[in-house]
Structures are given as C-alpha cells and as structure tokens.
Amino acid sequence: MQSQTYFVQDDVVTGDDLDYQVEGSNSRFVKCNTFHRKNFTFTLYGGYEGVPENLLINVCGWLLLLILFTILRKRAWNYGRIALVQKSEQRDEHILKKNGHDAVQYLSFQRHIILYMFIICVVSLVIVLPVNFQGNLEGDSKTFGHTTLSNLNPHSPLLWVHVGLAFVFLPLGIFFMRQFSLNLSIVEDESLIGRSLMITAIPKEHCSRNILLQHFQEAYSEFIIQDIHIAYDVRKLIKLDRQRETAMQAKLWCETVYKETGLRPRMRPYTCGRICVCGDACGCPQIDGLEYYTEEEHALISAVDREKSIVLQKPLGIAFVTFQTDTMAEIVYKDHQEQCKCSTNPPTSSLNCILEPHNWQVEFAPPPEDIFWKNLAVSDLKWYIRAVAINLFLFLVLFFLTTPAIFVNSLDLIQLRQKIQRLSPVLSEFLPTLLLWLVSVLLPIIVAYSDDFLFHWTRSTRNHSIMKKTFVFLLFMVVILPSLGLTSAKAFLEWAVRPQNETYRWECIFLPDNGAFFVNYVITSGFVGTALEIIRFPELFMYAIHLCFSRSVAEQVGIRKAILWEFEFGVQYAWILLIFATVIIYSLPCPLIVPFGLVYMCFKHCVDRYNIYFAYGSSKINQSIHASAINYVVFCLILQQVSLFFFSFLRTGWSNITIVSLSVFVLTLMVFFGQVFFHWFKELSPITYKKLIRRPISHTMITNHSPTEEPQTYVPTVLKMQSSRADVYSTNNGRTYGTSENSVSVTPDVEQVGLGQELAQLVYIEQPYQRY
C-alpha cells in the first residue's frame, strides 16, 4: 500500500485508516489515522511525496516575490544608490556602527550555523543517503521512503552508521558554538558587572537626589558617587511628546508646500479625515492645515511642559546610582542582599528611618538604552497579575487550539481541498505546507505581542522571554507533536490516558514518509517564507491602518517615524532554531531535508542582514540571549539522539543499537543539564566563558581611584534637554523633515500621492535607520 504522511486527529478523522505492519520482534498490524491525499495525480514526477512539485511552486513564488520587491524598491528609492550601499557599506563594521554589537553577533551566529549545516549536508548526502538506499523495504528509487531510515532492515548493521554520526554531530556542534562564543565575552553572570546600581522600593516621598546622596556619603564615606538619577512616571509625557512631534512634522510639511506652491494646504481635523469621501456633507469641512498644526503644536508644547513639571514632582521610588569603580558598586550590591534569607543589614546613616535601606531591592543597572522608561511605572503586583493571566492564556492556546497541522487537516472538513485538487493537483500538494507555515507565523506573533502586555522593564528581558517561549512553542507545535502523530497538546493528553486495547500505537510515529511533510515545510520556509520577510507585509498593513486613521497627508512623516520597529532578536532567533531543530532531528532518518535547510539558513542570513541594516531600528539584548541560543543548539542535537533511540527501540526492542543509543543520550543529557543548571563540566561546555579576575577588596582599592569614563545618563529622552531637536529643512531631489539625528525623506511632489506609493515608500526606503 502506498504510504502517506500520517497524523492522528484528536476530534475528527480526516482520512482513511491505514493498516500498517511493523517490523521486528513484535510484528503486528495497527491502525493509524492518516492525513490522506485522495486520488492525487502527480503532474511532474511520480514520486517523492510531492516534494518536486512543492519545490517548483516555491521557487516560482520566490522569484515573483523578489520581482515585486525589486519593483517597489526601485519605485520608492534610488536603485543605483542602493546597489552602491550594498557593495560598500553593508559590511560588519558598518552594521556594528549603525546597529550595535548585538546585531553583529546575531549574524555571526547564523554564519556558524550555516558552516555547521554545510558539513552536515555533505555527510548526509555522501554517507547517509547511500546507506539508506541499501535497504529494500520502501518501494524503489522513485519512492520517498526509499531515501529514509525506514528503508533499512531493523537488524541491519548499517544502522550503526546513523548512531555513530549522531554521536559525532554533537561534539562538532559544540566546537562551532565554542568558536562563536569566543567573541561574545560571556561571563557566568552578566548581571553582576558594572558600576551603576538600580535601587527600587525607595519610599516615594523621600526619593530625591540630595537625600540619597547624603545617605551614601554617610554610609559609605570613602566611596565616590559620580551621579544619581531618579526615575519618574513618564507614560503620559511620552505620549504627549509623540503627538507634539507629529504636529511639528505636519506643520513643517505644510510650510514647505506653502513656500513652493503658494497654496495653503487644506485638511479635515478629524480621525480618518484623510480618507473621508463625504466631505462637507457629513459635517467634516476642510480648514487651513498650516494654521491648525501650528496651533496644535503650540498647545502640545504647553501640555508637555505642564506634564513635565508634574512628573518631576512624583518619583517612582526608583534610583540609578553610579559609583566611580566596579568595586564600590559590588560592595554596595552585596551589602543590600538578603542575609540568612530573611533580611538585609546594610551600613546605616542618619536617614535610615525615612529611607528604610533594609527594604531596598538593589541590582546592577542595565544600560540606559536597554530600559523601557514608560514601563518602570508598572508595579510588581500588576506585573505578576498580568504575567499569570497572559501565560495562562498562552497555555490554553497551546493546549486546546492545537498545532498548525489541525488547520491543514480542517480543509477536508469543508471539502475545499478536494475542490482545489480537481482544479490543480500541484496547488493541492503545495497548500498544506503553505498553510502550515502561515499558521506557524501567526502563532509566534501572538506570543510576541502578548509579551508586550507584560511591560518588561528592559528590552533584553523582553527579547529573551519572547525567544524562550516562542522557541518552545514552535518546537512543540511544529516538530514534536506532528512527529508523534498528534495535532495538539490536548490530543497528546488524551492519547496518554487511552486504554491499552486502543488501536493506536507508538509505531504510528515513525511511518516511512513522515519526513516528506517536514521537507516540504522547510522548503516553503526557505523560499516563500524568506521572500515574505524581506517584503514585510505586516509593516505595510500596520502603516496602512495608521494612514487610514490619520487626519491629512501632512501626518505621514510622523507616522513613519512612529511605527519603525526594532529588530526582534527573540523572534528571529526562535525561527532559526526551529528550522535548525527540524533539519537536525530528521537529518539522519530523512537526509533529503538537509540541503533545503541549508538553503533556508543562507536565505535567512541574507534577508536578516538586509533588514537589520536598512529596515529596522536597533534593539538592545544582553549576552544571555546569545548563550540561550547556543544551549538550544545543543538541545536540538540531543533531540536528534532521542529520535534515533525511539526509532531503534520501537523497531528492534532492547537491541545493542538501542542500548548504545540510550547510553549516549543519557550521558549527553546529564552533561547538558549539569552545565546549564549547575555550571559543571565547563571544559565540555559549548560556551567559552570569560574569566573575571576578582581581587580581594581592600582599603587601598577603594581610596586609590583611577580615572574612569564618563558615567551613563539614566534619563529618558523625553526628559533631556530639547536643544537637540533643531529642525532640519533641506531640498535635494526631495525634502527632509525631522531632527538631525533621525530625518525622514519624502517625495518632491507636492500633490498627495496614492496610498500604495506611500506604503512602498515606508517599507522600501533603503536608508540606514538610527533608532529614534
């Protein structure tokens, strides 16, 4: 019987049952529910489970999307300028200058993964694939199953090749990750480095710079404090300042139009006034745009000034104290840590009774650019309530909503897939993997956006949280459950408590063509997926929404500045690691997946390099995110050993291969957990930690101070001096509005351009972006 791609439905059977005979000592027939392609007719090549057809469609779609991108980019910007920039400016040193060290390290991680996967690809095609062809259990050379591990006899000595390679791949991966970590300068606890401390739980009524300075001068008389900054609730102030900035940009636009044409721009000062078609008939008359935005800017400037005076009178009870040396900061930090797990006993001063330093929470401060200043006003209680509610929601989605595979299978319920199949068998074959990819994209977006409601205090914490949750979510949904023949965590629980006489068995997991579905998924991610990433349709959609709600064309410059996103390192790391996990897990049972995984990594690297430099603003992350990525790579290699163990156990029982596979897996798991949780086996760690030389703290070290760099300023931009906001006005084949640090270019045409052209201008302005 022709084998198919197999899933077990939790509620509805969407295909025919398949009687499948299992090789080995416990041979018997079992029933597996199938994700079945009825009456499918191959139009290109009669074999390989539709992989050639899927590849052809993806290549064609990829070319069409790149052509679309090229047309839009050329229409919106100077094409020759971009070609020059790509040749001369898009090197790592320029990315380092414009986007920071984290972007360079992220791209370096990709290059190490590409090189490692290239070696795996060569081994898989030169060694593993010919070995799999030695069997005769799965059809002939035109059958996809003939290329998989299922083609070999369960007792064949050739299976030792797979076990041996799985063992070799692990130290090879550790070697590449160690090489990557050399330039990271990772320390065991990065949070314990610096000379600035973040102190919370200070009584708000006594949280002032002078009071805190007096306290530290009395409690630590030999210490030199370089600066103290107090945190304030700036949420409303930031909102008002953004509105002021938008009004200013709109006023400048109107002034320019008036100078060039002699006509005063007209506008409707209502939400959606830009797209209002009824006009005066609906009670939305036009007014003078220049006069309106001038008055609005003056009103908002006054509102910002009033709010600033109010804000400075209401501290949050949070202070940033910068000492002259790291040693001083370390002493103060240790003095305020809990003693005997119950209380602290820091040095006293005459202000102890009002400052209550024994209740302070003292941590080393993150860099100022890493802080979400508006989120500091969220109390711990609100944060924990939100965290519980949001994570509970995500768990329910994970448990009940299912894997993306259930959406693919649901096509059979409405008989849509059969209709598409009659119209185009090739499209019918391509549709499941495309939908799988689309739903896989949607679900991480839910995870990422849900984390925004947690109001993390730092960008690095937010990115790290998103990375961990998205990777685990994707790995469980896209790889693990489908590999188990299940479509949701709910189905997994129901399967686990089924009675023993149920027809479903573990043997349904490793049906011969299970890998074909993942091959098609990696192909779709590599071609169509990366092409869509460079076009950035979500940004286009959000920009269109903002334009529709704007009052006039004059606000388009402010809108562009307002919706320029930071590069989401957490989400992008999770996506790379998901494809890496899929490819590594199936590299030995299904070696044809590796070349397409290598293609994905190469395309992904090019797309991310382009987007980081041209499309997104820089985002701050800490070294723990890179360290987590390294550990996840090793975890993926451990999952490869798990898959080989179960494959061997279910087919041969406790054979010699099974025992060796289990032994290697257990040993690897022990070393891995020892490194991650207890920092054991450092010489075998995939991370090369930087050694910090900590000399004993002495009186001489405190009193003899060497000159140090200027302290970092822990003040949000909205509270800094406004002198840097000098308006820029220039004309050079176009107009530039904004500040000297962050200008936005618009077309020289005075007349209102169409929405489609503005969307193109937003996404395809190929100008290195500096974060506002």
* Radius of gyration (C-alpha) of the chain in whole angstroms: 30
CA gap 619, 570 in Å, rounded: 10
The answer, yes or no, to whether residue 271 has pLDDT greater than 90, is: no
Q: Is the distance from CB of 600 to CB of 582 less than 8 angstroms? A: no
What are the helix and strand counts (H, E) for the chain?
Answer: 28, 11
Region at 189 (left for phi over 0; alpha for psi -120 to 50; beta for the rest): beta
The answer, yes or no, to whether residue 624 has pLDDT greater than 60, is: yes
Q: What percent of the chain has pLDDT over 90?
A: 24
DSSP state of 370: G
DSSP H helices, 5-100, are: 51-76, 79-88, 92-99
CA gap 604, 597 in Å, rounded: 10
How many other C-beta atoms can be found within 10 angstroms of the C-beta atom of residue 339?
13
Supply the pLDDT for residue 546: 84
HSE-up of residue 267 (Cα within 13 Å, Cβ side): 25
CA gap 232, 314 in Å, rounded: 6
- Read off the tokens for 186: 């990772």
Phi, psi angle pair for 644, to nearest 5°? -65, -40
What Å distances lie between residue 566 and 458, 485, 613, CA to CA? 13, 38, 11
* Three-class HEC string of 646-674: HHHHHHHCCCHHHHHHHHHHHHHHHHHHH
Q: Mutual orientation of helices 755-764 and 51-76 as an angle, nearest 10°?
A: 100
**584: Cβ contacts below 8 Å, ≥ 6 apart:** 120, 169, 636, 637, 639, 640
pLDDT in tens, 305-330: 999 999 998 899 999 999 998 889 98
Q: Is the distance from CB of 77 to CB of 764 less than 8 angstroms? A: yes
Beta-strand relationship, 29-33 and 735-738: unpaired
Between 652 and 359, residue with greater pLDDT: 359
CA gap 202, 200 in Å, rounded: 6
The answer, yes or no, to whether residue 527 has pLDDT greater than 80, is: yes
DSSP state of 617: B
Mean pLDDT, residues 478-494: 65
Residue 147, Cα to own-chain centre: how many angstroms?
34
Out of 203-212, 566-575, 728-737, least confident range: 728-737
Q: Is the distance from CB of 485 to CB of 505 less than 8 angstroms? A: no
pLDDT tier at 216, thresholds 50, 70, 90: very high
- 58: nearest Cα among 512, 436, 497: 436
Q: Which of 371-375, 491-495, 563-567 has maximum average pLDDT?
A: 371-375
CA gap 245, 297 in Å, rounded: 8
Residue 725, Cα to own-chain centre: how many angstroms?
32
Q: Which of 411-425, 655-669, 689-703 has maximum average pLDDT?
A: 655-669
Q: Is the distance from CB of 61 to CB of 527 less than 8 angstroms? A: yes
What Å distances lie between residue 760 and 78, 126, 351, 764, CA to CA? 13, 45, 60, 6
CA gap 109, 459 in Å, rounded: 20
Phi, psi angle pair for 319, to nearest 5°? -135, 150
Q: Is the distance from CB of 448 to CB of 466 less than 8 angstroms? A: yes
Name the one residue in this structure whose structure tokens are 């991370």. Answer: 687
Supply the pLDDT for residue 11: 36
- 763: nearest Cα among 423, 755, 401, 592: 755
Q: Which amino acid is at 402?
A: T
Between 10 and 590, residue with greater pLDDT: 590
Residue 359, Cα to own-chain centre: how many angstroms?
36
Domain limits, the chain: 17-189+377-684
For the chain, the 3-state helix, strand and coil shares in percent, each to the nearest 5, are 60, 10, 30
Beta-strand relationship, 266-267 and 225-232: unpaired
Supply the pLDDT for residue 756: 45
Residue 334, Cα to own-chain centre: how many angstroms?
34
pLDDT tier at 740, thresholds 50, 70, 90: very low
Supply the pLDDT for residue 738: 37
Name the one residue in this structure whose structure tokens are 């005075």. Answer: 750
Q: Is 106 helix (H, G, I), strand (E, B) or coil?
A: helix
Mean pLDDT, residues 212-234: 92
Q: What percent of the chain has pLDDT over 70?
A: 70
Supply the pLDDT for residue 212: 93
pLDDT in tens, 541-597: 888 888 888 888 888 887 877 777 888 898 899 999 999 999 999 898 889 999 999
How many other C-beta atoms can be found within 10 angstroms of the C-beta atom of residue 722?
12
Supply the pLDDT for residue 87: 42
Mean pLDDT, residues 684-702: 60
Q: Is the dihedral of CA 37, 39, 42, 48 positive or negative?
A: positive
HSE-up of residue 532 (Cα within 13 Å, Cβ side): 14
CA gap 67, 83 in Å, rounded: 16
pLDDT in tens, 155-171: 888 889 998 999 899 99
DSSP H helices, 512-652, are: 514-524, 530-535, 537-549, 556-562, 569-586, 593-610, 623-652
Q: Is the distance from CB of 269 to CB of 292 less than 8 angstroms? A: yes
Predicted TM-score (pTM) of the model is 0.80
DSSP H helices, 415-503, are: 416-423, 425-452, 459-474, 481-483, 489-496
Residue positions counted in the chain: 772
Supply the pLDDT for residue 617: 77
Q: Partners of 288 in the beta sheet?
A: 266
Print burial letters for 611-631: b (CB count within 10 Å at least 16), e (below 16): ebbbbbbbbbbbbbbbbbbbb
DSSP letter string, 107-148: HHHHHHHHHHHHHHHHHIIIIIHHHHTT--SS--TTSGGGGS
- Read off the tokens for 126: 């030169």
